[in-house]
């Protein structure tokens, strides 16, 4: 058994590679999709092992410590879904518009959500990686110097939808 890379306790929680709420929004209540990595794997449940990292964090960090980070991510995704046309045109994300007067803290919480996800991915690939700086950021430090977050517009997806004259909502979830 391994230790939680965030706090050091026993790692007894398997974080989703994609939030279950995102999967449900994208694929509906009954999942019928594919996970593409080295192989193409059919998935029929949101609890499928392939959709989760191995147990590299603890239940407390996953459910309690990072709850506000998950909430900030959910607000961010909802805003992006509702305003995707505006974002594609302006090429700008206004965090104050997303989060209101607490936008600076909520933006940090969003970044902490991505830091938790990145840390799970990194530690899964290389368990000997030192993620202390990243874990301290997740636990409340306001700066992290070895983690860079970049948002990327996938405007090509919109072009594909237009080219095929698809009026239905197309969803894709990247994990890179």
DSSP letter assigned to residue 3 = B
Whole-model pTM: value is 0.85
What is the domain partition of the chain in residue ranges?
66-176
Q: For position 6, what pLDDT does the model report?
A: 97
φ/ψ of 139, rounded to 5, equals -80, 0
CB atoms inside a 10 Å sphere around CB 84: 14
Closest by CA position to 5, among listed 111, 113, 136, 112: 136
Tokens representing 72?
């900030």
Cα 10 from chain centre? 23
Task: Output the furthest CA–CA distance in the chain (Å, rounded).
Answer: 51
Whether residue 22 contacts residue 32, with contact meaning beta carbons closer than 8 Å, is answered with: no
Spans of the chain below 70 pLDDT:
155, 157-158, 160-161, 164-176
**Across the chain, where does the E strand assignment appear?**
33-36, 40-43
């Amino acid at each position: 058994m391994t230790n939680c890379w965030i706090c050091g306790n026993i790692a007894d929680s398997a974080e989703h590679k994609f939030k279950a709420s995102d999967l449900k929004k994208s694929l509906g209540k009954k999942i019928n999709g594919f996970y593409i990595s080295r192989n193409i794997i059919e998935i029929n449940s949101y609890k499928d092992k392939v959709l989760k990292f191995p147990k590299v964090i603890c239940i407390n960090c996953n459910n309690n410590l990072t709850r506000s980070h998950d909430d900030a991510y959910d607000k961010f995704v909802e805003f992006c879904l509702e305003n995707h046309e505006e974002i594609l045109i302006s090429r700008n994300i206004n965090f104050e518009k997303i989060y209101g007067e607490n936008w600076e803290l909520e933006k940090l919480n969003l970044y902490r959500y991505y830091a938790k996800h990145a840390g799970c991915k990194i530690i899964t690939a290389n368990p000997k990686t030192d993620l202390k700086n990243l874990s301290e950021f997740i636990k409340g430090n306001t700066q992290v110097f070895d983690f860079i977050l970049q948002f990327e517009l996938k405007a090509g997806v919109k072009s594909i939808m237009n080219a095929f004259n698809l009026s239905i909502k197309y969803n894709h979830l990247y994990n890179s």
